[in-house]
């Protein structure tokens, strides 16, 4: 078939398959791939949801009369606090470093990503130990101002909100920063030429144009906050996620835990809707390739040092302080080291953690690419609905996903064993855990991949199709190179998140596959902070590798 005929066919039916008669192909009208992906990803959630068909009303009544109001209130408070905190800090810092010139700007531009390497629960136990009653800060406070000098109660929610904001703001910062960078300099310069000041340009142009990125970043931060159980537990600030784990552990009551998790699912759905609403239908495509960077306004005098101080303060609180404390603990731990203790398992935990997180990242991002690509090819409600289903897992607690995955694969496992005598092929291996990771981290990967795909103008796809490219060719030859940074960011985010993940890892890891995160959490939960500092520091150090890569590639953007 000649190029001309093919082009004619395509022009006649622009969204229909182009190259006819090239052997077997899947019918393009039916979104098989997204259906398959969404099916596999939602199966655990559906199986768990099926258990809800028989709601335990008396259980709900009891929960409502005892612990539920407080957990619900705490969850909403946490989300409001972390949402506002990460948006203000993330967006503010991103604007500061992209649109202004001040001492240390180039350094902070990258360094402010460092807290990405810090899991919330590690930050949580470091802050708890520093700022609670017996900690050095309050002890010094009392010795300065007397025994009854008032100090804010870190258990009232403030502590958990501050810790999570400091750990999660980089999600907003990273996406806001690249959004601000990619805004054509001409737009801002035109605004300035028309007499628009820096503040006004920020509110009227930069923020509205960056809105999709801000919404995506804040949504990531909030979902992370919503599923956390360890940090809020350190601060005695029980949320619904913490309740799910508690019902599971305290009562060994999977049904009750699942019922509570369904409430969380509703909250997550609401959050997704809000995020979609904030992103709106608008798509800002930059015409004419990557423009010059916006001209940075040089800050002078007090304002310059103010900008420096803000960046330095955030970086100190979110990274220097906790890492410094961990290093001090690690030094005293190594000083008083008893041979035959932690060093016997250390290398193994490092290997396990790295392997699990690496495989999880590749798998998840691979599926996310296919999913995001499908979303562009089939611009149908069905596919976008399937996509939304496929990214629900991030908002669910790891323990709930773990339960769903176990429900899904355990029968398969037993069947396989009956047929082939394979033993626990799936549940005893990394398959179950990887399944849970893919379900759980699909949103991280997909958001990042999709945001970067949004930058690829639909006209490019259309041009390619007009020229006869098949959908997978478009993905490989046009979209993939253009979205490479987004894919890299997705890989890094999933890797780091998988490394930090606790509950699903706890329940599904294959025998002997303990990770650094589990090790650190167990020790920290018992206040063995010195001992916990060794795995914790390792997590931070490993987490730094992808963050440093991210900083470098971020420079090219």
Residues of this chain that interact with other proteins (CB under 8 A) are 62, 66-67, 129, 132-134, 138-139, 142, 147, 155, 233-234, 236, 238, 242, 246, 248-252, 254, 338-342, 344-345, 355, 359, 406, 410, 417, 422-425, 427-431, 506-507, 509-514, 518-519, 522-523, 525-528, 531
- For residue 133, the minimal CB distance to other proteins (Å) is 4
The nearer residue to other proteins, 111 or 508, going by C-beta atoms, is: 508
CB of 338 to other proteins, least distance (A): 6
Q: Which is nearer to other proteins, 125 or 169 (CB)?
A: 125
Nearer to other proteins, 378 or 521 (CB): 521
Q: How many CB atoms lie within 10 A of CB 55?
A: 12
- Number of neighbours of residue 292 by Cβ within 10 angstroms: 9
> Measured between alpha carbons, how far is 258 from 263 in angstroms, rounded to an integer?
9
- How would you label 312-344 residue by residue, b for 16+ Cβ within 10 Å and e otherwise? bebbebbbebbbebbeebbeebeeeeeeeebee
Least Å distance, CB 502 to other proteins, is: 11
The CB-of-278 to other proteins minimum distance in angstroms stands at: 34
Nearer to other proteins, 150 or 512 (CB): 512
Q: How far is the CB of 553 from other proteins (least distance, A)?
A: 25
Least gap, CB of 406 to other proteins (angstroms)? 6
Rank residues 148 and 199 by Cβ distance to other proteins and give the closer one: 148
Smallest distance, Å, CB 529 to other proteins?
Answer: 9
- Tell me whether residue 228 or residue 454 sits nearer to other proteins (CB atom): 228
Buried b (16+ CB within 10 A) or exposed e, 168-198: bbbbbbbbbbbbbbbbbeebbeebbeeebee
In angstroms, what is the C-alpha Rg of the chain? 25
Measured from the CB atom, the residue of 145 and 203 that comes closer to other proteins is 145
Q: And the tokens for 92?
A: 């503010």
- Residue 321's nearest CA partner among 128, 185, 462, 192 is 128
Which is closer to other proteins, CB of 1 or CB of 355?
A: 355
Give the Å distances, CA to CA, from 188 to 192, 198, 211, 290: 6, 9, 16, 14
Dihedral (Cα; 103, 106, 109, 114), 10-degree rounding: -100
In eight-state DSSP terms, residue 295 is: P
What is the rounded CA–CA span in Å between residue 5 and residue 10? 9
Q: Least distance (Å) from other proteins to the CB of residue 134?
A: 4
- Give me the least distance between CB of 73 and other proteins, in Å please: 14
Comparison of 455 and 500: residue with beta carbon closer to other proteins: 500
The nearer residue to other proteins, 488 or 513, going by C-beta atoms, is 513
How far is Cα 149 from Cα 473, in angstroms, rounded to an integer?
68
Strand partners, 297: 100
Angstrom distances, CA of residue 471 to CA of 18, 29, 474: 9, 12, 5
Q: Where are the beta strands (DSSP E) in 43-166?
A: 100-101
* CA separation for the pair 449, 285 (Å, rounded): 16
Closest separation between CB of residue 32 and other proteins, Å? 20
Q: What are phi and psi of 522, to 5 degrees?
A: -60, -45
């Amino acid at each position: 078939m000649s190029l001309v005929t093919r082009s004619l066919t395509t022009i006649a039916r622009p969204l229909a398959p182009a190259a006819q008669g090239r052997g077997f192909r899947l019918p393009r009208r039916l979104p098989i791939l997204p259906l398959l992906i969404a099916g596999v990803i939602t199966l655990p959630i559906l199986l768990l949801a099926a258990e809800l068909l028989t709601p335990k009303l008396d259980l709900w009544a009891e929960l409502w009369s005892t612990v539920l109001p407080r957990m619900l209130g705490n969850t909403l408070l946490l989300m409001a606090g972390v949402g506002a905190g990460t948006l203000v800090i993330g967006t503010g810092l991103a604007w500061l470093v992209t649109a202004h010139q001040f001492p240390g700007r180039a350094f902070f531009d990258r360094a402010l990503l460092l807290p990405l390497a810090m899991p919330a629960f590690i930050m949580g136990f470091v802050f708890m130990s520093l700022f609670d009653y017996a900690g050095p800060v309050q002890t010094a406070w009392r010795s300065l101002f007397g025994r009854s000098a008032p100090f804010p109660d870190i258990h009232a929610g403030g502590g958990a909100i501050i810790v999570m904001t400091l750990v999660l703001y980089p999600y907003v910062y990273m996406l806001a920063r690249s959004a601000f960078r990619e805004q054509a300099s001409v737009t801002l310069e035109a605004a300035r030429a028309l007499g628009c000041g820096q503040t006004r340009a920020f509110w009227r142009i930069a923020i509205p144009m960056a809105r999709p990125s801000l919404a995506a970043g804040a949504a990531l931060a909030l979902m992370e906050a919503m599923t956390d159980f360890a940090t809020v537990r350190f601060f005695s600030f029980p949320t619904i996620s913490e309740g799910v784990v508690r019902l599971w552990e305290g009562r060994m009551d999977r049904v009750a835990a699942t019922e509570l998790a369904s409430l969380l699912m509703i909250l997550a759905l609401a959050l997704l809707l809000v995020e979609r609403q904030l992103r709106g239908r608008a798509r800002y495509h930059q015409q004419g390739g990557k423009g010059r960077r916006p001209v940075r306004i040089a800050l002078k005098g007090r304002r310059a040092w103010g900008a420096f101080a803000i960046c330095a303060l955030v970086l100190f609180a979110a990274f220097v302080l906790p890492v410094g404390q961990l290093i001090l603990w690690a030094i005293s731990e190594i000083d008083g080291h008893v041979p035959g203790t932690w060093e016997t398992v250390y290398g193994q935990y490092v290997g396990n953690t790295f392997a699990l997180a690496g495989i999880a990242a590749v798998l998840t991002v691979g599926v996310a690419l296919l999913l995001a690509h499908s979303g562009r090819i089939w611009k149908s409600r069905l596919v976008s609905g399937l996509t939304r289903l496929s990214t629900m897992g991030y908002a669910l607690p790891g323990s709930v996903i773990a339960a769903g995955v176990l429900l899904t694969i355990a029968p398969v496992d037993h069947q396989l064993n009956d047929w082939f005598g394979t033993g626990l092929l799936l549940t005893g291996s990394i398959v179950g855990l990887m399944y849970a990771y893919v379900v759980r981290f699909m949103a991280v990967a997909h958001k990042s991949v999709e945001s970067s795909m949004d930058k690829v103008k639909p006209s490019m796809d259309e041009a390619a199709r007009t020229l006869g490219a098949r959908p997978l060719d478009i993905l490989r030859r046009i979209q993939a190179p253009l979205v490479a940074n987004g894919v890299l960011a997705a890989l890094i985010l999933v890797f780091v998140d998988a490394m930090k993940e606790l509950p699903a890892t706890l329940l599904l890891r294959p025998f002997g596959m303990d990770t650094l995160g589990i090790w650190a959490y167990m020790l920290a939960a018992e206040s063995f902070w010195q001992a916990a500092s060794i795995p914790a520091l390792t997590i931070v150090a490993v987490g730094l590798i992808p963050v440093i890569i991210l900083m470098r590639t971020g420079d090219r953007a």
